[in-house]
Amino acid sequence: MHSLISPFDFGYTWPWTYGHLLLALVFAGGAALAWRFKARRTAYVLAAGLVWALAAFLVVQYGFRINAPVALPTARFLEQGTGRVLDMGSGSGRATVMVLTERPQARVVALDNWSADYIADNSPRHLLANAAVAGAADRVEAVTGDMRKLPFEDGTFDGIVSTYAIDHLNREGIPQALAEAARVLKPEGTFLLMVMNGDGWMAFIMPPLGLHRGLGALHGGGGNIEDSWTSRLTDAGFEVIERGRAPGTVYFLARKPGGSERE
């Protein structure tokens, strides 16, 4: 399904893209009925719900840009502009297209098991179609695989991205995937990790997302989200060189130290 602001079709099912419009219709109908039957206080409450639903829809479309490529949060990722990049958990290609457009001399290997049911027609074909819309179909390869056991040799990639994927794994899977990322990245290569954050933006559009299981999994020992993921990346052998926030997101730019593959 194409969004209002993007020529791409990343396939997010309607509850994620247009669900708030359905809620707006429900609130509008309820407010109209309440007003008709002179239940003024109820009508005002439902009208407030209508305003919230419309505002949340705009945040999803224009703040989260759910059906547009992910915005590259830092210019320091793959600064040389060329090389081979792995997208771990690529889905329908939001981060893949980000790399292809922001680094037009780079090539991307997009890896996924294509199992996410919130993406309609989640498949290599879907991802490659979005790469074609970006005019970069000749610079991408789609591979079926498991982030926890990557089908690549050590030191294969100049850069790695993973957006809203590794944080879907369980407590055991997260360190496995990060260790695999460190293994297949070349020394001095950069790893851009973006994870969901139950911040005020997320709480505004859909409060249950604040309980996202990936967010819960990382807090086994307490602490804030930045420190928790920094610790995980450090344990995997990375040096975190930048971290920051965007709506509903925390990002980390990590580098694999030169020399030996793993200390």
**Chain segment 182-200, per-residue pLDDT in tens:** 999 999 999 999 998 878 8
pLDDT given for residue 1 in this prediction: 43
Q: In the chain, which residues have pLDDT < 70? A: 1-5, 207-223, 259-263
Whether residues 150 and 89 share a domain: the answer is yes
Rounded to whole angstroms, the Cα distance separating 184 from 180 reads: 6
Rounded to whole angstroms, the Cα distance separating 107 from 178 reads: 21
pLDDT given for residue 215 in this prediction: 47
Whether residues 182 and 140 share a domain: the answer is yes
Contacts of 134 (CB under 8 A, 6+ apart): 8, 69, 97, 100, 101
Domain housing 18? 14-63
pLDDT given for residue 252 in this prediction: 98
Whether residues 217 and 173 share a domain: the answer is yes
Q: Which residues of 137-184 form beta strands (DSSP E)?
A: 140-144, 157-163
| Cα 116-117-121 angle, rounded to 5 deg | 90
Phi, psi of 229 (to 5 degrees): -75, -35
Number of domains in the chain: 2
Whether residues 110 and 217 share a domain: the answer is yes
Whether residues 96 and 26 share a domain: the answer is no
Q: Which residues of the chain form beta strands (DSSP E)?
A: 82-88, 105-112, 140-144, 157-163, 185-196, 239-246, 249-255
pTM of the model: 0.86
Determine, yes or no, domain membership for 89: yes
Q: Which residues pair with 194 in a beta bridge?
A: 163, 251
pLDDT given for residue 218 in this prediction: 43
* CA 232 to centroid of chain Cα atoms: 18
Whether residues 56 and 119 share a domain: the answer is no
